[in-house]
Amino acid sequence: MEVTDIAEKLAKDMKEISIAEFFEKNRHFLGYENPTRSLLTAVKEAVDNALEFTCQAGILPTIKIKLKEVEEDRYRIVVEDNGPGMLPEKVPYAFGKVLYGSAFHKLRQSRSLFGIGMKGACLYAQLTTGKPIKVTTSTGKKIHNFEIMIDVAKNEPIIVSHTEEENPSKWHGLKVEYEVVGRYVKGDTSVQEYIKRTAMVNPFAEIIFDGPEGKMVFKRATEKLPYQPTEIKPHPYGVQLGVLRRMLSTTKARNIIGFLTKDFCRVGRNSAIKICKLAKIAATKNPKEVDKDESERLYKAMQMVKLASPPTNCLSPIGQEALILGLKKGLKAEHYVAVTRPPSVYSGFPFQVEVALAYGGELPPENAIILRFANRIPLLYNQGDCVITKAIKDVDWRRYGFSQPSDGLPASPLAILVHFVSVWVPFMSEGKQAIANYPEIFKEIKLALQDAGRQMAKYIRKIRKIRESELRRSIFERYIPVVAQSVAKLTNKSEKEILSKLEEFIKRKTKVV
Amino acid sequence: MEVTDIAEKLAKDMKEISIAEFFEKNRHFLGYENPTRSLLTAVKEAVDNALEFTCQAGILPTIKIKLKEVEEDRYRIVVEDNGPGMLPEKVPYAFGKVLYGSAFHKLRQSRSLFGIGMKGACLYAQLTTGKPIKVTTSTGKKIHNFEIMIDVAKNEPIIVSHTEEENPSKWHGLKVEYEVVGRYVKGDTSVQEYIKRTAMVNPFAEIIFDGPEGKMVFKRATEKLPYQPTEIKPHPYGVQLGVLRRMLSTTKARNIIGFLTKDFCRVGRNSAIKICKLAKIAATKNPKEVDKDESERLYKAMQMVKLASPPTNCLSPIGQEALILGLKKGLKAEHYVAVTRPPSVYSGFPFQVEVALAYGGELPPENAIILRFANRIPLLYNQGDCVITKAIKDVDWRRYGFSQPSDGLPASPLAILVHFVSVWVPFMSEGKQAIANYPEIFKEIKLALQDAGRQMAKYIRKIRKIRESELRRSIFERYIPVVAQSVAKLTNKSEKEILSKLEEFIKRKTKVV
């Protein structure tokens, strides 16, 4: 064959690949790698969304989850929330088009992120059971019932059915129902554990889980919704050259000064003028007329001017008190401490780390329990790959009185909860179970762990001292009647008096300050 | 705010996300997580493609790679092949549209997979340096010069420039040139190591690497191209219900019998009739008229009928001899063994595992070197997550005479090469550096390792025996002159004669059979 013919043959095979088909084939990227994990992922995507949109609407969430085995290794999942509901014209896209969503372009802490998760569950449901997802929703007006499938080859929604009904009770919310091939297990990576941990960090939510092992109800522990994070603009330090160029070409600002001060956070008029001077661009220039060289100079100048860190009202950490309350809900320990670090920045994105430790009590004596969370979502899989685990292993826990094999997790009756919040969680894959190892993130987690470790060490040292004193005292106390008797005989004084003086003396000497 | 207003506000933010923008923001999914790895990934994508398409055209590859630091942490990459070239009308899409390619829909072993890799390099180049990728190509006719960028918001190519020139020498091939922010390092995850390992498993390729440390030339070790794998049809056991439905609706076959026998592999007329009977569907039914219940019955019936495993002409392993030659190219060891397992199947996809071991010589005595490959591409990152590493750790290497800490990699002068070939490599992420842990794959890798381990153990036992005998002999030999002298004195016989007899005796006794 001639070379040209070969090239033509190769060209014939080249075609566009639908993102839906890509994720259908690579469903393990989304967390559908085996029946056990698939069931968890399918439940999780709906519950995470239910919590997110109910909170965003300022409504105290009540989430009802039903999980029923309809035949062997096949489950029906129903998740219902009391959120604001979804406009009917958006329903087909929100469930039937991969890469469609509201969170991707926003810099604000959110459980939702990619515009992939729920569509992944729909894809997996139709791939394994061939059935559409049923969506029932209302914004308080009419109730809309949908059956949605995905045209995988085109990545477009198929509306299998759509009916309306009256809504005399003015119900609002969203209910999804779908069937998947999956396997229900117990233990650390189970649906039940995911729900338990979700309740731990979302104490304002009522969660009712009706699963294969019966009904579990997590009552609302507080009537107070957490602070609603605000959307922020990108920070100049976190914008790459290519993105800057796109921003220049689409901005509504009429000059560079306006562009810098309005499209970015933390750039005031003075900083903007400084940037323009450094970049040798007229401050009045139309952003759309900035050429390649100028944009590169602008990019470099933006990195050189000193600017405040991005605002942190885009973040909503849990807080030390609520963290400890959450831990107490899930574990029975002897002592709890918590640390919330001040916000920090990686690649221009604000983030914040919280750590809570629980010690002793009914915790297993040999292995520390690791509880990882990102934006209030529990992470159950890929623990070894996660920066949280790496930071925990890097801390010298022996310094705080715990045992720890070399380079390992601490081997003590300890639970370590780490919560990472950010406007953009750098997950290692679309499966959203492990956070990537950015040096700034690693450092902040480690500092939080060390701070919490020191606090816990104080308690443990105190406890040890008390226990040692008690031990000493109990030894003394065992012998003082004999001693008192002998001393009384030798000194001819009252045995009772000697005994009471000795007791008093021992109490004083073994008192812990 | 009313609930309906909130729902409307939320709806306003919902929009489509471009896959190019998705990967631009999540560039770490593609391997652009830090400057060091980014440089490697950017080079790798072009080199992998160059090798693949040159081989596919049946041309012995000559790949020229240039890597030059143009300013601090900024590199120009040039990769040129002597392949068939690309039709000019395809160039903009092949470099400027994410999820566009020829390999995704084919069941055949290939270095190319997703239709993402090279576009990822272009995305990263324009994001970090703002520059287009330059493509020069010819199929032997005119030479076409392109400059391509990606419209990230739309995921469509932008042709910055396109010129043609005459081609009197009838050159054919493809040359790409692009600039990225990156960092060049030495060591296990370096560009140089990637090229070295690529040469190891592609001995038929000539690779010239002109990098920051000077020029390295890997000469062609054989003039024989490997077997060109053939495309196969899907196997009934590897098709999910959702995919079966799609196949039914798009098939060219006019009846179910035709559909089953022509659109699948390993289904003969008899098996097809059996499947139809089990599914209670008329064999003459038009596939487009199969309803939901019927398709589900068909799906189940397809899993129940006994069928031969998929054909394995879609695979092209390296072979034991070539594997050992490859290892010898890269390492100086004392002994080499290799194992090629028979093909096997996971989720309906044929795959095959090869293992080669090198022992002793100049290998570092303390830590085994792990060399992972998939479809002839070296995997350098995410070693801990890869099923290959998990299988290596699971083998009891002490049984074969190596030391091994509990649950760890063997700690002996050992190099372990594992090559996984498949029509579909289940990578853990788009970064393509770790293979997912499917039980069938884990098992095959472990079996191959154990087989190779046993072979190596035989050698090591023999070597140890020889060394022990030599040690014993050398001890004897040191003393026999004294013994001979004494015996001669005692017996009054010739010392020389006694000595020669003793020497002969020792040689016989310490000989290794």
Of B14, B59, B246, the CB nearest to A90: B14
Amino acid of residue B37: R
Query: Which pLDDT score is estimated for A489?
Result: 83
Query: For chains A and B, what is the number of CB pairs under 8 angstroms?
Result: 202
A240 close to B128: Cβ distance less than 8 angstroms: yes
A282 CA: distance to closest CA in chain B (Å)? 21
What is the helix (H) or strand (E) element at residue A362, kind and residue range?
A: none
Q: Where are the domains of chain B?
A: 19-218, 236-304, 320-459
SS (H, E, C) A235-293: CHHHCCHHHHHHHHHHCCCCCHHHHHHHHCCCCCHHHHHHHHHHHCCCCCCCHHHCCHH
Residue B8 with chain A: CB contacts under 8 Å: 87, 139
Contact state of B140 with A16 under an 8 Å Cβ cutoff: no
Query: Which pLDDT score is estimated for B308?
Result: 93
Q: Which of A379, A380, A375, A408 is nearest to A392 (CA)?
A: A408
B508 CA: distance to closest CA in chain A (Å)? 51
Domain A236-304 part of CATH 1.10.3720.10: no
B165 close to B142: Cβ distance less than 8 angstroms: yes
Calculate the alpha carbon distances from A479 to A472, A484, A502, A511, A512 in Å. 11, 9, 11, 18, 21
Contact state of B436 with A33 under an 8 Å Cβ cutoff: yes
Give me the phi and psi of A280, to 5 degrees please: 55, 50
Of A6, A17, A153, the CB nearest to B57: A6
Query: Which pLDDT score is estimated for B218?
Result: 95
Of B24, B140, B384, the CB nearest to A4: B140
Calculate the alpha carbon distances from A483 to A402, A468, A488 in Å. 39, 22, 8
Residue B428 with chain A: CB contacts under 8 Å: 28-29, 429
Token output for B47: 């080199």
Q: Which residue of B has its CA nearest to A52?
A: B10
B94 close to A14: Cβ distance less than 8 angstroms: yes
pLDDT above 60 (res B323): yes
pLDDT above 90 (res B375): yes
Overall pTM surpassing 0.80 (yes/no): yes
Strand order in A62-71's β-sheet?
A: A156-165, A143-151, A133-139, A172-181, A74-81, A62-71, A206-211, A214-218
pLDDT above 90 (res B290): yes
Mutate to test the interface with A, among B1, B15, B17, B383 (most CBs of A within 10 A): B17
Q: 3-state DSSP call for residue B348?
A: coil
Residue A22 with chain B: CB contacts under 8 Å: 99, 104, 114
Top mean pLDDT of B105-109, B351-355, B383-387, B400-404 is at B351-355
Calculate the alpha carbon distances from A88 to A93, A130, A150, B4, B498 in Å. 10, 23, 17, 12, 107
Query: Which pLDDT score is estimated for B511?
Result: 64
Q: Which of A180, A77, A191 is nearest to A135 (CA)?
A: A77
Segment B51-70 shows an average pLDDT of 96
Provide the mean pLDDT of chain B.
93
Contact state of B17 with A101 under an 8 Å Cβ cutoff: yes
Segment B118-131 shows an average pLDDT of 96
Amino acid of residue B115: G
Half-sphere exposure of B251 (CA within 13 A, CB side): 25
Rounded distance between C-alpha atoms, residue B145 and residue B156, angstroms: 19
Query: Which pLDDT score is estimated for A504?
Result: 82
Instruction: Report the topology of domain A19-218.
Output: Heat Shock Protein 90 (3.30.565)
B127 CA: distance to closest CA in chain A (Å)? 4
Contact state of A106 with B53 under an 8 Å Cβ cutoff: no
Query: Would you call A420 exposed, middle or buried from its count of C-beta atoms within 10 A (0-12, 13-18, 19+)?
Result: buried
Residue A295 with chain B: CB contacts under 8 Å: 130
Amino acid of residue B98: V
Mutate to test the interface with A, among B6, B90, B171, B390 (most CBs of A within 10 A): B6
The predicted-structure confidence for A224-258, as pLDDT tens digits, reads as follows 999 999 999 999 998 999 999 999 999 999 999 99
Least confident of A6-10, B130-134, B165-169: A6-10
- Select the CATH number that applies to the domain covering A320-459 from these four: 3.40.50.300, 3.30.230.10, 3.40.47.10, 2.70.98.40: 3.30.230.10
Residue A240 with chain B: CB contacts under 8 Å: 127-128
**pLDDT tier for residue B426 given thresholds of 50, 70 and 90:** very high
Query: Would you call A40 exposed, middle or buried from its count of C-beta atoms within 10 A (0-12, 13-18, 19+)?
Result: buried
A64 CA: distance to closest CA in chain B (Å)? 20
Rounded distance between C-alpha atoms, residue A225 and residue A61, angstroms: 9
Q: Check residues B505 and A162 and name the one with the higher pLDDT.
A: A162
Token output for A283: 């401050």
Token output for A503: 């007791």
Report the DSSP beta bridge partners of residue B15. Answer: A101
Query: Which pLDDT score is estimated for B489?
Result: 83
Report the DSSP beta bridge partners of residue A78. Answer: A66, A177
Of A18, A127, A139, the CB nearest to B241: A127
Q: Which residue of B has its CA nearest to A53?
A: B10
Pick out chain A residues at pLDDT < 70: 1, 510-513
A455 CA: distance to closest CA in chain B (Å)? 33
A360 CA: distance to closest CA in chain B (Å)? 29
SS (H, E, C) A137-189: EEECCCEEEEEEEEECCCCEEEEEEEEEECCCCCCEEEEEEEEEECCCCCCCC
Token output for A217: 């109800």
Residue A26 with chain B: CB contacts under 8 Å: 114
Rounded distance between C-alpha atoms, residue A123 and residue A135, angstroms: 15
Q: Which residue of A has its CA nearest to B242?
A: A127
Of A3, A14, A384, the CB nearest to B90: A14
Contact state of A10 with B57 under an 8 Å Cβ cutoff: yes
The predicted-structure confidence for A468-503, as pLDDT tens digits, reads as follows 888 887 877 788 788 788 888 888 888 888 888 888
A464 CA: distance to closest CA in chain B (Å)? 33
Rounded distance between C-alpha atoms, residue A371 and residue A141, angstroms: 41
The bridge status of strand A349-359 relative to strand A206-211 is unpaired
Token output for A292: 């390649």
Residue A3 with chain B: CB contacts under 8 Å: 57, 59, 84-85, 139-140, 172
Query: Which pLDDT score is estimated for B510?
Result: 66
